[in-house]
Structure 1
Amino acid sequence: LFEGKLYIQTGKVKEVSKQLHKNPKAEICAFKDGEWLRVSGKLIEDDRREARASMLDAYPDLRGMYNEDDGNTEVFYFKNTTATFSSFTEPPKTIKF
């Protein structure tokens, strides 16, 4: 999170970057211990240095491949987002932000 928004990071040279610029609708899914999370929304690019630095500071292992000033690192935040928490034992819970 940066400034209250959910961010992702990638590199401009990657295919995913090109895809997101053409179609910014995205989903992220995660599964752990019989529960899963699905986050969907529109990704908005944030070209500010402080946004890139915040992401890399939160995940310092990425600094071996990325730098906020390298011209390759880019970050996006989710807008009009829906997060759905699901499990096999309880009804889904949905949050919009």
Structure 2
Amino acid sequence: MDKVFEFLKNAGTWYLATVDENGDPQVRPFGAQNIFEGKLYIQTGLKKAVAKQMLAHPKVAISGMAGGKWLRLNAEAVLDERIEAQEAMLDANPMLKKMYAAGDGNTAVFYLKNATAQICSFTEAPEIINF
């Protein structure tokens, strides 16, 4: 999991895919991640469609590129409503504090479970990471 976290950090911008209410895939750029209590977290706003989609259909996919390699990750997104998890995410990603505050009723942090990540390149066999 730590390797996936570092990969996402190095990528800067990575892409999260969800499924909307019509079963259509939706992809958007993200760039905030954190490890809290041994779990990989991502963050968004509860008012956003992406949060509603993850709550209705928790299976997500993440993709990003860094250092000539790419990441493909499939996981289940689980909402963690604890203020401590929100604070940890905001402290790790201070740029989010311009838009979000722990306990504001909008900040949503999701941890990824049952995750399988592949770090791939054109020259090496994929590295598989499960967490």
Q: Give the TM-score band, short-chain normalised.
A: over 0.9
| CA distance, structure 1, for counterparts of residue 62 and residue 100 of structure 2 | 21
| Structure 2: gaps of 5 or more residues | 1-34
State the identity %: 53
Match of 1:22 in 2: 56
Offset of 1:54 from its aligned partner?
0.3
Moved over 4 A (4+): none
Match of 1:53 in 2: 87
C-alpha distance after superposition, 1:66-95 (max 9, x if no partner): 000211001110111101100011010101
| Structure 1: gaps of 5 or more residues | none
Match of 1:7 in 2: 41
Counterpart pick for 2:102 among 41, 57, 68: 68
- Does residue 127 of structure 2 align to residue 93 of structure 1? yes
Offset of 1:34 from its aligned partner?
1.8
Counterpart pick for 1:79 among 95, 113, 123: 113
C-alpha distance after superposition, 1:9-49 (max 9, x if no partner): 00011010111111000111111232001121101110000
Offset of 1:7 from its aligned partner?
0.4
Q: SS of the counterpart of 1:67?
A: coil
Give the residue type in structure 2 aligned to 1:70. Answer: D
| CA distance, structure 2, for counterparts of residue 23 and residue 59 of structure 1 | 26
**Relative contact order (C-alpha < 8 Å, sep 6+): which is higher?**
1
Between the two proteins, the alignment pairs up a number of residues equal to: 97
Superposed CA RMSD = 0.7
